Structure 1
Amino acid sequence: MSATRDEMLTIPQVVKEIGVPRATFYRWRQLKKGPKAIKLPNGAVRIRRSDLERWIETLEEAA
């Protein structure tokens, strides 16, 4: 990880960035096909920017 902290994205930020409906993102999570996520003690879910980018790279390789 670089000297700057890895940005923690919310679900709305992620779905806006990748351009899919929220329901699709949750289905991917349920099927373990989405990016690695962190569940906070209050139940909120966050995705590290680096994990999102790594996940997108795996999709490029599979295409």
Structure 2
Amino acid sequence: MTIAEVCEALNNLPRRTFYRWRELRIAPTCIKLPNNELRVWRSELNAWLEARREQKDTAA
């Protein structure tokens, strides 16, 4: 996926926010192509999202 597609999938996340997440090393893992463009595997984005899912509180 292109960065634009990733941002769209993340509810129109601003590109600057995505690049800031990369600086902070909290963005999904990217692949850098020979022309320096970035791509994200859809499966990597899905795994990244799943890892951030809030757990339901079962103590109630």
| Range class of TM-score, shorter chain | 0.7 to 0.9
- Provide the rounded CA distance (Å) in 1 between the counterparts of 2:28 and 2:44: 6
Greater strand share, structure number: 1
CA change 1:21–1:42 in 2 (3 A) is: same
Aligned pairs, number = 55
CA drift at 1:43: 0.4
Match of 1:45 in 2: 38
TM-score w.r.t. structure 1 length? 0.81
- Greater C-alpha Rg: 2
Match of 1:56 in 2: 49
Greater RCO structure (CA 8 Å; 6+ sep): 1
- 1:26 aligned onto 2:19: yes
Match of 1:16 in 2: 8
SS of residue matched to 2:43: helix
TM-score w.r.t. structure 2 length? 0.84
Gaps of 5+ in 2: none
- Provide the rounded CA distance (Å) in 1 between the counterparts of 2:26 and 2:38: 16
